[in-house]
A and B are shown apart, each in its own frame.
Chain A
């Protein structure tokens, strides 16, 4: 009697476990930065409506995305910071870009609206180095004669997690401030001299929104969708530019895709009067030797659909799509580089 009860309980438990783990074929999981999360989530819901396959994207930061795909715990990784060529080779990963986005500085100062405040890269670097501590500092006031700046402490906000957005932002600061380059450097995680950290682009946006006198850096979609006060920056040509789709596109057009190994271009501090200085593409990491070739084929199918049909969704969220010849190169490298155990290419069409 007792034995049969236990047997019954065990069989119920086992069958429910099997039922729970049965996933719909074609579902893929990915993890990575919060920079492209708005567009990946939009694509995922459109793709599910069209084909029924779910794409589960976890925005845990570019650092987390790189770690997870290296450990093969997800089907694809996403990172705004390109991985170094030797790390890519060691982890046997293929890196390809999806969209281009821009990073904008946001502030929270009473009486200052979007596009009213103007800053140079050097001033932003000094703020994050802790050398400029008040909003009515002479350097800032000199640039902004039409705005009354209060005697308010500056509260810089940065990313506490390993972030590709940080990588691009610190690359920008290293390019415009020799002080920054020698003292801090650029990476997905650096030692910040002033301010406090928040998790994810959304965390930085929320932190700036809630703190008077705060300054932070986020991907443009977060600033636009949350109604945050955006700052105009001085670009390499010395012109003050507004963060609009036109200035982002002007910067993206300068990217030299032909000479970039593993598609790792830099769009930071590019030449041009109309170019926004902090623009970046974002990458997907895929295993070159997938243990489950069907999953990798599904990932490539999803992004293939995104390149063909996802442009409208991307542009609605203020991202820029890649030029056609780059997309063709990406498809070529899918065919050439992602091989199953039998040595045959995984990418079908």
Chain B
């Protein structure tokens, strides 16, 4: 943009020179000409800095974690051993925890987001759309550590006293489902982490859903209403299929956000380096393991290198998820 501005100023000056007949030194002097290259250089510098920063993070993680990968081989990514005493580390438990809590969060958040988005676009009276929309945005602005505090203070006692004991009592004797609901009712665990992540992820998904649903052409919806479709039928058969690709993309954006959440998850997930089928079992995510163990792992030790390798794995997973989501959203909303 600046280049175009600069050249039009130069062109004006050149034309003025031609009209005058001879270029005069005073006419040549453009007020902004001296600062313009500096301005452009600063802009290049800013963008370059961001790229350099991204590259340096990637290189730090890759280079720092490479010795761990070299020691353990590719089995590092699925090994479930994390033993600081024997110095054997593996990312299996953390990758499982990260993906499992992310999927749990999506399972809880998706129906609510669909509901809120459709409510905001179709059903809500116009006067209440702004307040409800703003309330959703406010939820997005809450810092994640506050969600962690809320989780510990409100959700954990709720789960431990009212939700987990009845579920354990009902399901633990049923053969297959029982494995999902085993364990002491400590209030912590994968399900609690999934619930808190769902609340963190709902504003993002809802905002994008609203945008996508609003982009459905009014003509399509009007014609559906015209032939007698109910609101639900319009939603299910017109709006959602129209924006299907973009909706999937928005979901993956929410998933990408849930993958990287640290403090909210660390407080409620129980920090156990074990895989268990139960929803109430403690586990770990990549972010919670790094938050817990990185300060104690001296630089250069195998544990430190394994943690850096974990960070690299998270970086790669998040990057892939977000890239797919952007691609889908872009092709979905024209």
Contact = CB atoms under 8 A, between A and B. Distances in A.
Interface of A: 60-61, 63-64, 66-67, 70-71, 152-155, 160-162, 184-193, 195-199, 207, 210-214
Contact of A70 (B186, B187, B298): B298
Contacts of B184: 152-155, 211-214
Contact of B271 (A66, A71, A162, A198): A198
A178 B299 CA distance: 33
B296 A63 contact: yes
B292 A191 contact: no
B160 interface: yes
A211 B292 CA distance: 21
B36 interface: no
A296 to B, nearest CB: 22
Contacts of B187: 210-211
A197 B296 contact: no
Contacts of B322: none
B81 A153 contact: no
Interface in B57-108: 81-86
Contact of B296 (A162, A185, A207): A162
B323 interface: no
Query: Closest 4 CB pairs between A and B?
Result: A63-B296, A162-B296, A197-B271, A196-B270
B160 A60 contact: no
B295 interface: yes
A61 B186 CA distance: 24
A153 B295 contact: no
Nearest to A211: B186
Contacts of B183: 153
B273 interface: yes
Contacts of B272: 192, 195-197
20 contacts: A61-B296, A63-B297, A64-B295, A64-B296, A66-B298, A67-B295, A153-B183, A154-B184, A162-B295, A185-B85, A189-B293, A191-B81, A191-B82, A191-B273, A192-B273, A195-B282, A196-B188, A196-B282, A212-B184, A213-B184
A190 B83 contact: yes
B156 A210 contact: yes
A187 B292 contact: no
Given A160-B292, A196-B270, 14 more contacts: A70-B298, A162-B293, A162-B295, A185-B85, A185-B86, A191-B85, A195-B282, A196-B189, A196-B272, A197-B282, A199-B292, A210-B160, A211-B187, A214-B186
Q: Which of A70, A155, A161 has the most CB of B within 10 A?
A: A155
B185 interface: yes
Given A197-B270, A211-B160, A155 B295 contact: no
A195 B189 CA distance: 11
A188 B156 CA distance: 27
A70 B301 CA distance: 13
Contacts of B157: 210
A67 B82 contact: no
Interface string B277-288: 000001000000
Nearest to A213: B184
Interface of B: 81-86, 156-157, 160, 183-189, 270-274, 282, 292-293, 295-299
Contacts of A186: 85
B295 A191 contact: no
Nearest to A130: B274
B292 A161 contact: yes
B234 to A, nearest CB: 47
Contact of A212 (B81, B156, B185, B189): B185
Contacts of A189: 84-85, 293, 296
Contacts of A195: 272, 282
Nearest to B298: A67
A120 to B, nearest CB: 22
Nearest to A199: B292
Q: Which of B156, B160, B183, B272 has the most CB of A within 10 A?
A: B272
Contact of A196 (B271, B296, B299): B271
Nearest to B269: A196
Nearest to A134: B184
Contacts of B84: 187-191
Contacts of A214: 184, 186
Nearest to A87: B298
Contacts of A184: 85
Given A160-B271, A185-B85, A196-B271, A63 B186 contact: no
Contacts of A66: 296, 298
Contact of A190 (B85, B189, B298): B85
A60 B295 contact: yes
A188 B282 contact: no
Contacts of B185: 153, 211-213
B146 to A, nearest CB: 18
Contacts of B295: 60-61, 63-64, 67, 161-162
A190 B293 CA distance: 12
A210 B160 CA distance: 8
Contact of B186 (A67, A190, A196): A196
Given A63-B296, A210-B157, A187 B271 contact: no
A191 B83 contact: yes
A200 B108 CA distance: 32
A193 B81 CA distance: 11
B186 A155 contact: yes
Nearest to A160: B271
B163 to A, nearest CB: 14
Contacts of B270: 196-197
Contacts of B273: 191-192
B162 to A, nearest CB: 13
Nearest to B157: A210
